[in-house]
């Protein structure tokens, strides 16, 4: 299947990964509708940072995943759905778990039901590596047990299983993508790499939470390439597919590498309010990406050093968009 000229809707289109996906879909010649969450500011979040030439090709509609009629309206007359819409802030899920149930589980159910009703040809559902919890073996393949170490992870496990059930029960053509820690330009300071970079550019001490966790950091262009390849791959239907670099890097090492790019040492201060609750911190996430390679020929191409440099350069040019002194959760 080719995505060129396809009528596509992207939920969560104004988010970090969503905005990059919209950009690349337009570049590939798709007819894109962006479904974004309504808010009273009236702006289009990260879509505002796209070139006007790209935005002119995008139909933007607002709504809420919790509103089944709004979701059905968004999917009407579409052929392919990329479902990225979700609440993703892990620390916030400890405070307001019901919000994650309503958006990530109920909202996904509305997308699945609308996809059935609208006769969608293909639905790409977005998962997260957080559903694995701390690695019980490494690297993590798609058969690894699912462990909910946060309410966010629990809501995504439920959403993933709903997607699986609609494939098995109703024949809905679903493929589930499980990205590991994607990073790059436009990412908010809620994520650790922009947090480190914005602090490094504006203050002397890195104020962070736990620094021992090891993560599989994947640059945004590689993740988006995976979305496009899997969407075009018939063999991916009914499958869960990891997208990750296959390399584990600690938060401390990321700080060291960012410091090296800036030519200085970056001392770290641990702040208790940035720590996850006891027993909930995921210690190790590293992907086994062989399935993605076998199904659709996907392999990451951007090294961590190159990706960090690209991200650092972008954030340095857009530092006014960030508040380094504030903890974003």
Write down the pLDDT at residue 278: 75
Write down the pLDDT at residue 272: 86
Same domain, 99 and 222: yes
Write down the pLDDT at residue 33: 98
Over the range 170-187, which residues count as b (16 or more CB within 10 Å of their CB) and which as e? eebbbbbbbbbbbbbbbb
Cα separation, 37 vs 65, in Å, equals: 8
Cα separation, 304 vs 310, in Å, equals: 10
57 pLDDT higher than 60: yes
Write down the pLDDT at residue 225: 98
Same domain, 106 and 205: no
Share of the chain above pLDDT 70, in %: 98
Same domain, 254 and 267: yes
Same domain, 257 and 143: no
120 pLDDT higher than 70: yes
Cα separation, 189 vs 274, in Å, equals: 13
Whether the Cβ atoms of residue 172 and residue 166 lie closer than 8 Å to each other: yes
Q: Which helix (H) or strand (E) holds 19?
A: helix 16-27
Write down the pLDDT at residue 328: 58
Same domain, 50 and 125: yes
Over the range 219-237, which residues count as b (16 or more CB within 10 Å of their CB) and which as e? bbbbbbbbbbbbbbbeebe
Question: Which residues fall within 8 angstroms of residue 326, CB to CB, at 6 or more apart?
Answer: 189
Write down the pLDDT at residue 215: 96
Cα separation, 186 vs 321, in Å, equals: 9
* Residue 208 belongs to domain with CATH number: 3.90.25.10
Same domain, 178 and 189: no
Write down the pLDDT at residue 135: 94
Asked if residue 62 belongs to a domain, the reply is: yes
**Helix 107-118 with 151-170: angle, nearest 10 deg:** 20
Comparing 4-18, 28-42, 155-169, which segment has the lowest mean pLDDT? 28-42
**Helix-strand-coil split of the chain, %, nearest 5:** 45, 15, 40
Residue 209's domain spans which residues? 184-215+247-286+301-321
DSSP secondary structure letter of residue 26: H
Comparing 23-27, 273-277, 303-307, which segment has the lowest mean pLDDT? 273-277
Write down the pLDDT at residue 279: 76
Q: Which helix (H) or strand (E) holds 255?
A: helix 251-262
DSSP secondary structure letter of residue 287: B
- 264-292: per-residue pLDDT in tens? 999 999 888 888 787 778 889 999 999 99
Residue 329: pLDDT band by 50, 70, 90 thresholds?
Answer: low
Write down the pLDDT at residue 209: 87
CA nearest neighbour of 73 among 109, 33, 42:
33
Asked if residue 296 belongs to a domain, the reply is: no
Question: Which residues fall within 8 angstroms of residue 238, CB to CB, at 6 or more apart?
Answer: 164, 167, 168, 174, 175
Tell me the average pLDDT across 55-77.
97
- 205-237: per-residue pLDDT in tens? 989 988 899 999 999 999 999 999 999 999 999
Asked if residue 82 belongs to a domain, the reply is: yes
Write down the pLDDT at residue 191: 92
* Residue 81 belongs to domain with CATH number: 3.40.50.720
Tell me the average pLDDT across 50-69.
96
Q: Locate tokens 């340095």: which residue?
A: 316
- 163-194: per-residue pLDDT in tens? 999 999 999 999 999 999 999 999 998 899 99
Tell me the average pLDDT across 65-79.
97
Asked if residue 92 belongs to a domain, the reply is: yes
Write down the pLDDT at residue 327: 59
Tell me the average pLDDT across 198-204.
93
Asked if residue 314 belongs to a domain, the reply is: yes
43 pLDDT higher than 80: no
């Amino acid at each position: 299947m080719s995505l060129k000229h396809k009528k596509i809707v992207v939920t969560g289109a104004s988010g970090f990964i969503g905005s990059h996906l919209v950009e690349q879909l337009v570049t590939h010649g798709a007819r894109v509708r962006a479904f974004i969450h309504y808010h009273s500011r009236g702006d289009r979040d990260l879509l505002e940072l796209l070139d006007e030439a790209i935005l002119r090709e995008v139909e933007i509609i607002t709504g809420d995943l919790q509103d089944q009629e709004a979701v059905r309206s968004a999917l009407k007359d579409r052929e392919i759905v990329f479902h990225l819409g979700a609440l993703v802030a892990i620390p916030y899920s400890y405070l307001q778990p019901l919000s994650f149930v309503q958006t990530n589980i109920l909202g996904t159910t509305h997308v699945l039901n609308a996809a059935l009703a609208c006769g969608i040809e293909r639905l790409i559902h977005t998962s997260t590596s957080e559903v694995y919890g701390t690695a019980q073996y490494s690297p993590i393949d798609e058969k690894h047990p699912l462990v909910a170490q946060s309410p966010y992870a629990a809501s995504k496990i439920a959403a993933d299983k709903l997607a699986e059930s609609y494939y098995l029960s109703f024949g809905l053509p679903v493929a589930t993508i499980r990205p590991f820690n994607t990073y790059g330009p436009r990412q908010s300071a809620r994520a650790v790499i922009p947090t480190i970079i914005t602090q490094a550019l504006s203050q002397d001490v890195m104020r962070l939470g736990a620094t021992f966790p090891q993560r599989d950091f994947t640059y945004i262009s590689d993740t988006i390439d995976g979305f496009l390849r899997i969407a075009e791959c018939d063999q991916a239907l009914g499958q869960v597919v990891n997208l990750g670099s296959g390399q584990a890097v600690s938060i401390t090492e990321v700080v060291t590498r960012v410091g090296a790019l800036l030519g200085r040492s970056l001392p770290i201060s641990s702040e208790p309010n940035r720590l996850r609750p006891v027993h909930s911190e995921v210690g190790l996430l590293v992907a086994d990406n062989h399935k993605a390679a076998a199904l659709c020929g996907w392999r990451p191409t951007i090294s961590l050093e190159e990706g960090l440099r690209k991200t650092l350069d972008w954030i340095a040019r857009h530092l006014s968009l960030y508040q380094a002194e504030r903890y974003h959760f």
